[in-house]
Amino acid sequence: MRIVIVGNGKVGNTLAEQLSSEGHDITVIDKNQKNIDNTINTLDVMGICGNGASYHTLLEAEVPKADLLIACTSQDEINLLCCLVGKKLGAGNTIARVRNPEYSDQLVFMREELGLSMSINPERAAASELFRMLKFPSALKIENFSTKRVEIAELRLKEGSALDGVYLRDLHKSFKGRALICAVQRGCEVRIPDGNFMLKSGDKISIIASARDMLDFFSSLVGIKPEARNVMLIGGGRITFYLARMLSENGAKVKIIDIDPARCAELGAALPKVMVICGDGTDQELLWEENIKDADAVVALTGLDEENIILALYAQSVIDGKVITKVNRDSLSSIADKVGLESIISPRSLTASIIIRYVRAMQNSLGSNIETLHRLVNGQVEALEFRVNDTFPRLGVPLKDLELRPNILIGCISRSGRTIIPGGHDCIESGDRVIVITTNLRLDDLSDILARSYTI
């Protein structure tokens, strides 16, 4: 597909990198010539230096021939104007990044009136993911599928875990519900395991189950930490605003620490149920005075990745609860994981995943569309939810008789509101939602899971 990306910041560059690697024809527009030069020197993309909202710049980028225009500059108004002009020029679909909370309630109106195909708020999306993590703090990360009926949770097996030394084929002996361990990271190696795989302490595992069975799994084998009700947020940006509002509306006690007096005044006025402290969140004495030791959870959300990592390490040393850190740079995410910070969120990667899901669904609008896409195990594994239609060539065939490509697992089938963790005798039927776990990061259609002989 021909895709034009306006704005070559963190999100734009990540999108250019991932979409170009999937074979799309990418053109990037940015006002900064140095940014453009860096991108075209490292990626197989075209670059144009100019104003992405300008009629002439969009014509130069051949937007009238584009299948998709993505506007992700740092200014919401520029993004909206860019999409409006692009749509008038004939772009097939348009996506705008809209971050300002003041526009949140107007997004449906703006989509209809401006012809937007999709609007995305990275900070709000990140806050929603953080909210889920704080509701289920026993997991490192938790993702929802099939309108929240199915969940995938990530968990690190600690020394002495009940699962240490257990073969996956024997998991049912310890756990009576239906759950499936669908991915395992051991050191730098990531596997889609089969029944002969033995778990070991230190493994990071991904479990797929219905929402009810997930609770049972953690209760019987890991233990459940209660939902975080006393939460400290360090840093007062947009993610903090959205998350604090979600938590306070859910009855949690929330405390925000930020160094900027003007921002603290804004947050205090907008969030009357939240305590806002003006101070340096890296000051250990201040954190101690604000009773960090009594917090159920601490979330490091400053604008600096390095600062967030240091804050999270300190919080992890003084509380027994959940510690989450925001890290956008991939190089620092891997460092954070190595030093023991396992609950990490990247708004940039989250935004890219949402847009890539949309692109893949566009690319295959006549096939089994991607309904949901989440990246697991630091982006090395994808969990994709497909809606099945009559074009799937192996409908009604027992899973044990399907010849699948390597490193692919059918993790769940949702049928008429029923959640099935499948066995070998289960089949895929038209109308199902099927969740596929894979290390092959370019699946567009459900038929892509099949060995070549079945896809001809």
pLDDT in tens, 258-311: 999 999 999 999 999 999 999 999 999 999 999 999 999 999 999 999 999 999
| Same domain flag for 137 and 216 | yes
Residue 146 has pLDDT above 90, yes or no: no
- Smallest CA-to-CA distance from 382 within 444, 334, 441 is with 441
Task: State the Cα–Cα distance between residues 343 and 139, nearest whole angstrom.
Answer: 9
Domain span including residue 112: 2-120
| Same domain flag for 10 and 103 | yes
Q: Is the CB of residue 400 less than 8 Å from the CB of residue 425?
A: yes
Residue 452 has pLDDT above 80, yes or no: no
The answer to whether residue 177 is domain-embedded is: yes
| Same domain flag for 400 and 291 | no
**pLDDT on residue 136:** 85
Residue 251 has pLDDT above 50, yes or no: yes
| Same domain flag for 80 and 7 | yes
| Same domain flag for 299 and 367 | no
Tokens of 126: 């990140």
Mean pLDDT of 354-367: 72
* pLDDT tier at 335, thresholds 50, 70, 90: confident
Over the chain, what is the mean pLDDT? Answer: 88
| Same domain flag for 25 and 111 | yes
Helix/strand/coil for 290: coil
Residue 454 has pLDDT above 50, yes or no: no
Domain's final residue, options 120, 137, 166:
120
Q: Quote the crossing angle between the two packed helices 33-42 and 10-21, to the nearest 10°.
A: 20
* pLDDT tier at 141, thresholds 50, 70, 90: confident
* pLDDT tier at 456, thresholds 50, 70, 90: very low
Encoded amino acid at 400, one letter? K
Identify any residues that bridge with 372 across adjacent strands, giving them in sequence order: 385
User: Looking at the 3D structure of the chain, how many domains does it have?
Assistant: 4
- Residue 193's alpha-carbon distances to 88, 100, 197, 311, 409, in angstroms, are 49, 43, 6, 35, 9
Helix/strand/coil for 277: strand
